[in-house]
Amino acid sequence: MKPGETTSNKIAYKWLSYCIAALVVYYWLITFGLVFYSKPVSSAIPNQTFLYRTFLRQNWRLFAITKVYNRQMNFIVRDRQNPHNADTTDLVQYLLIEKRKYAPFNNYEDALDRILYLEMNGVEVLMNDQKKKLKEKLPGNTAQFYLQQASMQVDTNTHYHQNIDNIIAYGRYMMQREKKDTTGKEYQVSIVHKYISPALPKEPSTPQVDEQTIFISSYKPF
Amino acid sequence: MFNVKQIIWRFQQKNEKAYYLAVLRVLVSIWFIKEMFSRWPAFETLYSNHSFLKLDATYSLQAFGFNADLLREHYMVLITFCMLLLVLNIFGIGRNITSFLLFLSFTVLYHLNNKFANSGDEMSMLLLFYLSFANSFSHFTLFKRKPFEPGKEKVYNLVSNIAAYSMMINLCLSYFMAGVFKSLDQYYQNGTGIYYFINDDRYSVFAAGSKHIALPYILSAIIGYGTIALEFCFPFLVWYNKSRNIIFVICLLMHLGIYAFLMIYGMTIIFIIQYGLFYSNEEVMGAVQKIKSFLRKLFRFA
């Protein structure tokens, strides 16, 4: 026996080692379970899943979700007295130019890009939900009708307005940065998908249009 | 056969990745400092109550009794605390306690606003978690570490080795899952996934202003299928001496491609710096000696 090591200590350390090994096995079982079979495992052990996702979140998509379109987020500003005098800025491109300009030290622009991307996702989810409800309620109408009706409902829904509020806030921020005068003006926001030309002549699920409007708000004063 | 008793015994004998764990501790801390500095102008927007964006903290903060509003009001205190811990961690001051506090404080910061987090951020948080259990203080510390009594040291070695191997397994898992998800995507299945990413103006350096890039199908298919094959093979081939270097070189090329063409910077670095863990302590020390003697020769004139 080495000096300073009693028999009881030795037994305690041995059991401690086994307990640590058991904990590690349990940790990896949960990890593999949540990564490979997320739904059944999270419903079987909701508390551990919550703890796990709080501290050790794992989500390894790494460029696995292919997007067949680029987004436009048009911020249209017009004179209230003279509506023909309008100015459109694509907020996505405005941000991406900044992101490219400061690369590779573009963490600020990259963070804003990710946030606005998620806000646009949020608006799209709400729009799809509204369109689905409208189609069930009022079947047989044109795509334009559903777009306008759903946009109006999403735009006026105060419960889920944070996504749109943040998009508008970014638009205002852009106007401020560019030192554009907003007095006597009103704005409108629209989200448009610009489809990338298909790689193959007959791409299975690519829409046969160049672009599609996803959301269009009404004009509001600054 | 997989013998738990034998593995526990082996792991207790010595800290198998002692040198590289120390390197990793320093590199991860520097990586966080670099990320924090380049995110500095964004802190008010991302974390403050006075941000022009309304961003909610995650439910986790509330569940653990944190007041998100208070944290937002004093977000600079939290950031200063994180920075202080990072500096202490680089010098190995406070050892595992500092490392664990670092993990906890970055977890709080992450949950204050996780909307902009990417895979690199998630991987870095996992590294902080594993490193908080590892003995990464054998090298690059301000104060030399005294070993514990033999029994305790054995347990510490065991925990440290488990932490090191967990990082390696986690890296394998991340690549493998990325391969699985890509193989389930219809565009990767028909070989056009890379074409669409090269045309995605959020990532691609070529597609500025939604400019169309006519990447030939054959190139898109080779890179796409090659990436899936690489990600599937990584967890199996990385453990063998013969295939390890080859797989690392190909992965390095893949990450360089992501860094150069897809504007993902932090993630690339955090993935690459883990590769050294797959080499034994002797191999790493040998390589360091070679580099040192090369540098000595190079700067002999001085």
**ipTM at complex level:** 0.90
Instruction: Give pLDDT, residue B302.
Output: 65
User: Average pLDDT, stretch B106-114?
Assistant: 91
Q: Where residue B62 falls among pLDDT bands split at 50, 70, 90?
A: confident
Would the CB atoms of B169 and A104 count as touching at under 8 Å? no
Mean pLDDT score of chain B: 92
Residue A204 has its nearest CB partner, among B8, B158, B186, at B186
- As a whole number of angstroms, the distance between CA A191 and CA A154 comes to 13
Q: If you measure CA to CA, which chain A residue comes closest to B129?
A: A56
User: Average pLDDT, stretch B69-87?
Assistant: 94
> Which pTM does this prediction carry?
0.91
Question: Which residues does chain A have within 8 Å of residue B155's beta carbon, measured at their own beta carbons?
Answer: 13, 16-17, 20
Give the residue, B135 or A182, on which the prediction is more confident: B135
Checking if the pLDDT of B266 tops 80, the result is yes
Checking if the pLDDT of B181 tops 90, the result is yes
- CB contacts under 8 A, B 226-265 vs A, are 231, 258-259, 262-263, 265
Instruction: Give pLDDT, residue A206.
Output: 63
Instruction: Give pLDDT, residue A150.
Output: 93
Instruction: Give pLDDT, residue A5.
Output: 62
**Which residue blocks in B113-240 are alpha helix, DSSP H?**
119-131, 150-184, 186-189, 193-198, 217-237
Query: How far apart are the CA of A132 and the nearest CA of chain B, in angstroms?
Result: 25
Instruction: Give pLDDT, residue A204.
Output: 62
CB pairs under 8 A between A and B: 196
Of chain B, the percentage scoring pLDDT greater than 90 comes to 75
- As a whole number of angstroms, the distance between CA A73 and CA A59 comes to 28
User: Average pLDDT, stretch B113-137?
Assistant: 92
Instruction: Give pLDDT, residue A80.
Output: 87
Instruction: Give pLDDT, residue B274.
Output: 96
Q: Where residue B116 falls among pLDDT bands split at 50, 70, 90?
A: confident
Q: If you measure CA to CA, which chain A residue comes closest to B47?
A: A111
Question: Which residues does chain B have within 8 Å of residue A110's beta carbon, measured at their own beta carbons?
Answer: 116, 263
Would the CB atoms of B262 and A63 count as touching at under 8 Å? yes
According to DSSP, residue B53 is labeled: S
Query: Which residues, given as ranges, of chain A have pLDDT below 70?
Result: 1-5, 203-208
Any A CB within 8 A of B196 CB: yes
Residue that is written with structure tokens 């300009």 in the block? A101
CB B205 within 8 A of CB A100: yes
Cα angle A106, B108, B76 (rounded to 5 degrees) comes to: 60
Residue A65 has its nearest CB partner, among B126, B150, B185, at B185
Mutant choice from A29, A66, A97, A105 vs B, greatest count of B C-beta within 10 A: A66
Instruction: Give pLDDT, residue B113.
Output: 87
Between helices A162-177 and A107-137, what is the axis angle to 10°?
140
Instruction: Give pLDDT, residue A134.
Output: 93
**Which residue blocks in chain B are alpha helix, DSSP H?**
4-13, 18-39, 43-47, 59-63, 68-73, 75-90, 95-112, 119-131, 150-184, 186-189, 193-198, 217-237, 241-261, 266-272, 281-298
Q: Where residue B141 falls among pLDDT bands split at 50, 70, 90?
A: very high
Question: Which residues does chain A have within 8 Å of residue B182's beta carbon, measured at their own beta carbons?
Answer: 62-64
Q: If you measure CA to CA, which chain B residue comes closest to A24?
A: B162
Record the tokens describing residue B19, joined without a space: 């040198």
Q: If you measure CA to CA, which chain B residue comes closest to A163?
A: B54
Question: Which residues does chain A have within 8 Å of residue B262's beta carbon, measured at their own beta carbons?
Answer: 63
